[in-house]
Each structure stands twice: as C-alpha cells, then as structure tokens.
Chain A
Amino acid sequence: MKIAYKLTLAMVGGLALIVLIMAAYPYFVTTGALEKTRESIGYSTVMVLNTTGLQTAKVVAYSDAAFISSYMRQNGITTVDGLVRDPVIGRSLSKLHYTSNPEVVKARVSIVIKNQSGIYILTYSTGTIKVEPLASIESESLKGLIEKAVSSGTDTFVSGTYSFRNSERFGAFYVPTEQPLNNALLVVWVDIPKGSYVTNAFGELTEEDIIDNILKNLDPIKGAIATSVVIGGLLSVLTILVLVFIVNREISSPIVKLAETSEKIADGEIEISVPHQDRDDEIGILAKAIERVRRSLEIAVKTLEEFA
C-alpha cells in the first residue's frame, strides 16, 4: 500500500498544482483586465450613497471599493440607500428613488475624478448624472456654458439650460485642468426633481460604445486564457515526467533488479545478495521472500553437496 500511497500523493499533488495555476492565473489576469476596462470607462460609473430625510444625496463617481469605504468612514456614512450598477464589473445594485417630500430634492454630489484632464459633469433633467471627457462635447449650447465657466475661473459651478442631443438638460460643471486630475474630490449641489431616478451614468453612451469598450479590453483576458492553457499543458507534461520518474525509481527499477537477482539464483548463484530487503513496502516484502527461497536453496544445495 505504501507505493500506491506515494503514487496517489504525487498524482493528486500534481493535478492540484495544475488546477490551481490554470484557475488562479486567469483569475488574476482577468481581474486586472476588467479593472483596466473599468478604468477606461470609469468616469461613467456612478455610485449613490446615503440619501437621507434631509433631502441630500451623496453621489460618488468612479466606484472604487476602497475609496468608497474610506469616503463613507470619513463622512460618517453608515447606510447605503441605493447603488447604481457598474455595467462592466456588475457590482451592485439598482436605481435610487428619491422619496423626500419637496418638489425638488437638493442633492449634494461628490465626485472623484481619476486621470481625466478637462471634464464636465452634467445633471440631466431626469436626475441622471454624467461625467464625460471634454473631448466628447458636441453640443454648441453646452460649449457656450463651458466657455462661460472657463471665463469665470476654475472650479466654478455654472448652471443653465442647454440642449444636448435633442434633449433639454440643465446644469453643467466644468473642471478645466492642465494636469490630469487624480483622486480629486469635487462637490457640487444639483437639483433633482422629486421622484426621479439616478441611473447608471452611461447615459448617452450607446450599447455599441459600451460593447466596443469592453471588447477592446478582452485581449488581455484572451491572452490570459491562452497562457493558462499553455502553462497548464506544460505543467501536465512536467507532472507526467515526475510520475514516470517516481514510478521508475520506486517500482520499475527495484523490480528489474529483483528479477535479475532471481534469475541469478535460478542459475545457481545461491550466495548472491538480494537487494531492497530493508524497504518497508511491497518491494521489501518481495525481496524478503526471494531471500528466504535463496536461503532454502543454499542450505539444500550445500547439504546435498556434502552428502553427494
């Protein structure tokens, strides 16, 4: 049973190693790729926290889990009333419904900007909050608002009504920066009509835009899967080689040696030394049995020689 135990241990160990690497490697690489995907469209991710009876809502764009935890701690936020789904990662929840009583809910919006140089933040008449790079601005009326913001200085909230993609919106906040903003926390008050929803901030992005963005970042995932298959294959070969080595060293080689010894005994070399008698497994049992037969033969033959 000892040999079977060794072989089982080697096989299980080898297979576990293969499974671990084949599963863990793509997991880490895929997670990295997904994070990268989220970075690339991170500006459009919105997380909504802590709407209260005081008619305020804190909205944090770019829902980095560590940041959210720290933000909640720093701001004494203990409850989360609603979360907006991150469509790429698929973390979290649903739309947020404001149930406070006034006609218009005043919401305090806190937005963290990561690696964006020149962005604008829009609040739609529906309550949707959208953060986009400056480069994608198409609306002439919005450009007008932004020019107004720029001329009035940085970090200035500028409000007004404008038309954007055939839909009337209100509110614009422009952050002109020469250097990319990283982890900058911007706070702005916006009006959100009673009963409106804060939806995920993909807003005007079409499904096609989103799919393109995701597909663009699938290459590392494909690469990770291919690499894991190659590594898994190599590990399988390595495991087989190790198993062959163990089988050869522990079983085949001793059996060949014992077979040669038995043949020599049968040929009359009755004083030959039988190897592997010290082993504590099936090979040892076989070796000891051959040694007993050898001794019997030795005694019989020599006794007969004496009396012949």
Chain B
Amino acid sequence: MVTTEEFQRLLVKKVGPIGKVFLKKAMESLEIDEITDDNVELVLEILKLNPVMKKYIAEIEEELR
C-alpha cells in the first residue's frame, strides 16, 4: 500500500530534493491531500508531464511494481 511519505521518499531518492516541489504541485493540481493506491497512477502521470522528470519516473514505476 502506497502512502504519501513512502512515495515522497522514493521520489526524492530518484530525483533529489526537487521531487518534493513537483510532488506538492502535482497534488495541488489533483486536489488531493494523501497519495493512495487509487490515485498514485494519476500522480505519476502528472509528474511525467515534465519531460525531464519523465525518464526518472519510469524508475519509480518500476519500484512500485
């Protein structure tokens, strides 16, 4: 089960501190307070909209599987 803390830790591990900034913006745009199994795919899709971050998000998706 995915949690916000776990997802944020994974994101920072892959892309560094800027991951937090992008995650906050993604959650604001989706109007969600927590990341769960139900919305994690949507969050990843939002993050992949940034073309530079897209290649690193693939690594997160790999780990989440």
Contact = CB atoms under 8 A, between A and B. Distances in A.
Q: Do A and B interact? A: yes
Given A299-B18, A300-B18, A292 B53 contact: no
B64 interface: no
Contacts of B19: 296
Contact of B14 (A292, A297, A298, A302): A292
A303 interface: yes
B1 interface: no
A293 B17 CA distance: 7
A292 B52 contact: no
Interface string A282-298: 00000000001111111
A299 B13 CA distance: 14
A295 B50 contact: no
B53 to A, nearest CB: 5
A295 B19 CA distance: 10
A297 B51 CA distance: 14
B64 to A, nearest CB: 18
A290 B59 CA distance: 18
Interface string B17-59: 1110010000000000000000000000000001111001000
A303 B15 contact: no
Interface residues of A, number: 11
A26 to B, nearest CB: 58
Interface in A255-308: 292-300, 302-303
Contacts of B16: 292-297, 299
Q: Which of A294, A296, A302 has the most CB of B within 10 A?
A: A296
A292 B13 contact: yes
B12 A299 contact: no
A296 B23 CA distance: 13
Nearest to B21: A300
A296 B52 contact: no
A293 B15 CA distance: 7
B15 A292 contact: yes
A294 B52 CA distance: 12
A296 B50 contact: no
A295 B22 CA distance: 13
Contacts of B18: 295-297, 299-300
B23 to A, nearest CB: 12
Contacts of A297: 16, 18
A292 B50 contact: no
Closest 5 CB pairs of A and B: A296-B16, A292-B16, A296-B18, A302-B52, A295-B15
Given A299-B22, A300-B18, 18 more contacts: A292-B14, A292-B16, A293-B16, A293-B17, A294-B16, A295-B15, A295-B18, A295-B56, A296-B16, A297-B16, A297-B18, A299-B16, A299-B18, A299-B50, A299-B52, A299-B56, A302-B52, A303-B52
10 contacts: A292-B12, A292-B16, A293-B17, A295-B16, A296-B15, A296-B18, A296-B19, A298-B52, A299-B16, A302-B51
Interface of B: 12-19, 22, 50-53, 56
